[in-house]
């Protein structure tokens, strides 16, 4: 097996829609953490031009692609996205708070190359508001899930999960704060494992 420093870094296209705190942790991990020398962020894609996360990406000088998805039909939006993304070279699409469902054509173009992080066990809760659901239902724990993206809503095969102990937390804010802090450590760690495993197969 080649030593990591002799391999080319894995290229990531990171997709966001809003705050972008997971994107930020991935960028920082590439700069000086677990993903250093292993991966690079080649483009940050965002489907909302006013997303707060774009400020950080811009400051870092990362190439940015923005395509507004509001009022767009899924098929034509996805076709535009595929065409715009073709200008960038990347190996994986990393969803980091990307809130729009990717259509069948898009997902089929990148089989097992799209990865997402979800704040709950995807077998228990799919879609929006994972932390709010944990709070409202009084869960004792939630399981952050990193999974491949398929054509369904949070139905792709699970790569890794990590439990967040919610006992003793009494507000949604506390739950979200603790969960997100764990996401920020967990996502780069799992991405590293996926990238190293995929490199070994080359
Ligand atoms: C995170 O909780 C993530 O698990 C979910 O959406 C949220 C995005 O937060 N998919 P951020 O934009 O990364 O701050």
- For residues 177-187, average pLDDT: 98
115-160 per-position pLDDT tens digit = 999 999 999 999 999 999 999 999 999 999 999 999 999 999 999 9
Residue 10 pLDDT: 97
pLDDT at 200: 63
Tens-place pLDDT, residues 87-115:
999 999 999 999 999 999 999 999 999 99
Question: With a 6 A CB cut-off, is 134 part of the ligand 1 pocket?
Answer: no
Among candidate residues 118, 125, 147, 184, the one labeled active-site is 118
User: Which of 53, 97, 179 should be mutated for ligand 1, with most atoms under 8 A from CB?
Assistant: 97
Confidence of residue 5 (pLDDT cuts 50, 70, 90): low
Taking the centre of ligand 1 as the mean of its atom positions, its distance from the CA of residue 146, in whole angstroms, is 12
For 70-89, the pLDDT digits (tens) are 999 999 999 999 999 999 99
Whether 129 is catalytic: no
**What per-residue confidence (pLDDT) applies to 70?**
95
* Å from CA of 22 to ligand 1 middle: 6
Round to whole Å and give the CA distance between 193 and 196. 5
- pLDDT at position 7 is 78
> Which atom of ligand 1 is nearest to 23's Cα?
13
Its pTM stands at 0.95
């Amino acid at each position: 097996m080649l030593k990591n420093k002799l391999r080319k870094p894995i290229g990531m296209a990171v997709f966001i829609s809003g705050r972008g705190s997971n994107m930020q942790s991935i960028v920082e991990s590439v700069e000086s953490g677990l993903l250093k020398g292993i991966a690079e962020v080649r483009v940050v894609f965002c489907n909302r031009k006013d997303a707060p996360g774009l400020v950080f990406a811009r400051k870092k000088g990362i190439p940015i692609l923005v395509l507004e998805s509001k009022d767009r039909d899924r098929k034509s939006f996805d076709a535009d996205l595929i065409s715009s993304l073709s200008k960038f070279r990347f190996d994986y699409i990393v969803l980091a708070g990307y809130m729009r469902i990717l259509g069948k054509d898009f997902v089929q173009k990148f089989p097992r190359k799209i990865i997402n992080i979800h704040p709950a066990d995807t077998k228990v809760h799919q879609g929006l508001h994972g932390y709010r659901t944990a709070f409202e239902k009084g869960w004792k724990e939630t399981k952050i899930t990193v999974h491949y993206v398929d054509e369904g809503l949070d139905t792709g095969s699970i790569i890794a999960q990590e439990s967040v102990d919610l006992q003793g937390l009494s507000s949604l804010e506390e739950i979200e704060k603790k969960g997100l802090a764990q996401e920020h450590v967990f996502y780069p760690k799992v991405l590293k494992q996926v990238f190293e495993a995929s490199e070994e197969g080359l």
